[in-house]
């Protein structure tokens, strides 16, 4: 049943995805198919975890996991992490330190999570091109295009790009996946099995990936700055730090869920809270004085441009 998934470069994002998939498998195996969330947000291209999983067979999910890192110390750290978090489930995970080729040879699907600047050296290592023949390679690397991968891989290797984000660890992720060629239904099921089990999954053309990297990949960092600022404002006005952070976090979460679940535009929610002469409009004007809209939007623009640069060959210094 299932297949072998190799996480090549199991760092922060690899851990987040692996944690989310394992957690979903725990639910699947115990016939507890998750929390009902965002029921009205689905379309033909977007699939929330709990709505898609019940209709999928178990062989759409990995039955064996191989986690690859470069150092033995990192492998030992991963072993402790997953043994603690998943108990008996940890025996389904094998950890490889500096043995990328061996792990890839033993896998069916490879999830590439290394740093963009390391991808060429990893894929061009002796024997790797042959090892990846007839495999599905899913890259979450920022800026590295499918066209670039074709220069390093055998034509039989199917390459798909995906851009998940850190909330995947708690199954609240947002993943964008590049379209698959026709006749790849099995690969589509595998991809949905992985990414729909850790949040929402949407298929978008590859030309949008740099923007998705900025919005979804970097977005949690930007949101945390806003979250921290909201909490700081509460502390400034006398709230205890812990309570201020809880109030701010739940407010952000609840508002985001309203947008996803009801489909109501954020501006409409804003207007519904803003009464004439009230405290909300006073606060909004203060935000507009600080050019908050253009500042946040520019952050996405700059991050998008940087994401594009990450995938480009590094220029040699003079």
Q: Is 216 annotated as a binding residue?
A: no
Q: Is 13 annotated as a binding residue?
A: yes
Q: Which two tokens stand for residue 231?
A: 């909490």
Give the dihedral sign, CA 130/131/137/143. negative
Q: Where are the alpha helices (DSSP H) in the chain?
A: 12-29, 49-52, 72-86, 100-105, 119-123, 128-131, 146-152, 185-195, 209-212, 219-236, 241-262, 266-273, 279-289, 292-310
CB-CB contact of 94 with 122 (8 Å): no
CB-CB contact of 261 with 267 (8 Å): no
Q: What is the distance of C-alpha 128 from the center of its chain?
A: 25
Q: Is 283 annotated as a binding residue?
A: no
Residues with Cβ within 8 Å of 35's Cβ and at least 6 positions away in sequence, in order, are 50
Q: Is 11 annotated as a binding residue?
A: yes
Q: Is 8 annotated as a binding residue?
A: yes
Query: CA angle, corner 138, sides to 135 and 140, nearest 5?
Result: 155
Phi, psi of 30 (to 5 degrees): -95, 10
Q: Is 284 annotated as a binding residue?
A: no
DSSP-derived pairing of the beta strands 158-163 and 173-177: antiparallel
Q: Is 9 annotated as a binding residue?
A: yes
CB-CB contact of 145 with 311 (8 Å): yes
Closest CA to 246 of 259, 266, 233, 227: 227
Q: Using CA atoms, how far apart are residues 36 and 50, in angstroms rounded to an integer? A: 6
Binding-site positions for NADPH read 100
Binding-site positions read 8-13, 100
Binding-site positions for NADP(+) read 8-13
């Amino acid at each position: 049943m299932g297949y072998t998934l190799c996480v090549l470069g199991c760092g922060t994002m690899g851990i987040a995805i692996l944690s989310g998939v394992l957690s979903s498998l725990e639910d699947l195996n115990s016939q507890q198919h998750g929390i009902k969330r965002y029921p009205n947000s689905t379309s033909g291209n977007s699939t929330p975890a709990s709505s898609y999983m019940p209709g999928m067979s178990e062989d759409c999910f990995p039955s064996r996991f191989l986690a690859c890192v470069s150092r033995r110390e990192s492998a030992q750290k991963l072993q402790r992490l997953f043994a603690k978090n998943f108990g008996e489930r940890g025996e389904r995970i094998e950890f490889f330190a500096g043995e990328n080729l061996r792990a890839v040879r033993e896998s069916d699907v490879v999830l590439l999570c290394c740093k963009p600047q390391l991808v060429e050296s990893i894929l061009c290592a002796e024997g790797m091109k042959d090892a990846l023949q007839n495999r599905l390679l899913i890259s979450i690397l920022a800026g590295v295009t499918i066209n670039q991968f074709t220069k390093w891989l055998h034509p039989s290797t199917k390459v798909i790009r995906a851009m998940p984000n850190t909330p995947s660890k708690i199954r609240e992720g947002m993943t964008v996946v590049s379209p698959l060629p026709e006749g790849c239904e099995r690969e589509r099921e595998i991809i949905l099995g992985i990414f729909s089990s850790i949040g929402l999954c949407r298929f978008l053309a590859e030309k949008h990936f740099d923007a998705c990297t900025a919005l979804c990949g970097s977005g949690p960092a930007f949101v945390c700055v806003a979250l921290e600022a909201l909490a700081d404002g509460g502390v400034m006005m006398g709230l205890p730090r812990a309570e201020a952070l809880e109030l701010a976090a739940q407010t952000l979460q609840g508002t985001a869920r309203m947008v996803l679940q009801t489909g109501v535009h954020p501006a409409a929610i804003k207007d519904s809270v803003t009464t004439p002469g009230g405290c909300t409009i006073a606060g909004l004007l203060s935000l507009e004085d600080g050019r908050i809209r253009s500042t946040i939007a520019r952050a996405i623009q700059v991050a998008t441009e940087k994401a594009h640069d990450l995938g480009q060959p590094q220029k040699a210094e003079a």
